[in-house]
Structure 1
């Protein structure tokens, strides 16, 4: 406990916030409570002192440790004990973000102890923190999406950007997939309403393209050659002013401009358009597996071995549910 107090004093000298100090103290005492409980259980097993229901064991907790500080032999704390602590926290329902903070506190403490020559290694560095789930972006409703996409189109920039935004939303593409999209084989299936993109891990997948997106792409292809020099043979579908492949950063900048043009009081991004595609199809169809196939989610690869949806079924779900697909052609026009 003395080492923890000295560690916290150093953090205070480094002008760490009171909030950080309180969290680190609580997190470290939580680990100490686990450490003492484990040692107590081991001693109990060795001596067989707990017979006939003897309940003399100390109930270690943050409160009891604050009232009765205990000594800890940090040289005896190894990777196995810290992993057991992590598992205990997970079983108790501790969130990934909070548990990551606990491990950060332990790593920092062991770093301090090593600097003081009190321990030789930092076992907490060998324990991985659980992944903190990334929250999905806030969805954009159909009306907002339509407002974004149905803006006046003037000039080759606007024609290109219209094709980009329609494709991001229609096919649910990642911006990296769109940037890497080539004329061949990417647009070989455009007449049939599909594009071929290279997804995560370099795997090729087929994505569906609705009528509005298809029309926007055709409009762009009709003017794309204006920005190419006679000697250029650029294969990228979407090119910049100089005839080179368009960057993801440029797409984000143009999307910001379109959002302002549409008067939308929200922050848009290519990923929000991808998420909107998934949300709108799911809301209409209720078919989560179809949506996951449409987006090419890699984390479903194991499941897909057993339950692979065929392209005909995916096309049917897409055409019947996506707001910019064929069933909405008459309504949108």
Structure 2
């Protein structure tokens, strides 16, 4: 199977149906086009390619199996991933890609099986919500030279991540038109919300920092990205999620933080700091984090309080 599939701008399937001798690359492309996120399309395509390459088979042969053969093949593949020591989250993502493709093929009449009985690895959600405290993050911000264009940008970027507990994808997608300095708001496109946007309020310091970045950059076209590269050759290109990750990682290392830091670790830090500042008011902090379930905030709060450590100290003192 080739990796240079045409995934975009394909004709609507009912105008150009898959022939009886199935064009399996077309089936794969049509399935990938049902995924709204370009990142998801890229990752899922790679996952399917790895699956077929690792087992030495082709897409058509796989989807033409009966349900018993398909279950055996995918279960064996899962076992090989476990043996290789891949993380549970990675294994589950690869299985999710395979199961999604199979479900699509089944509903289109290209295969005769589903894979509901193939189970993923059990995960402990939000086991580690640790990050850094506000004083440590102040040190990160204080170490940025705001006399340079890169420094002005990085300061605004990190302050936005901290003050609003945003995900890096939400920052990457933001354009200048989404920023309203008068209303002190930013329109974001959150995780799992497709084209549906939401408005978040910004702190005064964050608004000032973003305005300083736009002024230093000299760009006010509303269609341009809010945060862009300042490197020669990539200047004015929208910052991708990996670039945002690298900025966070590098700035935290420069501040002497030995813990591996990422945009999501800053998000953890912000949520934990918000719970500390509000005395554990999970309902208020839920508005900041935008978690759909209040139970997720309770996990953060429990980790913050370290009830397990308190009980361990109590038992330790009894003997």
After TM superposition, the score normalised by the length of structure 1 is 0.48
| Larger fraction in helix | 1
Structure with bigger gyration radius: 1
**TM-score of the superposition, structure 2-length normalised?**
0.50
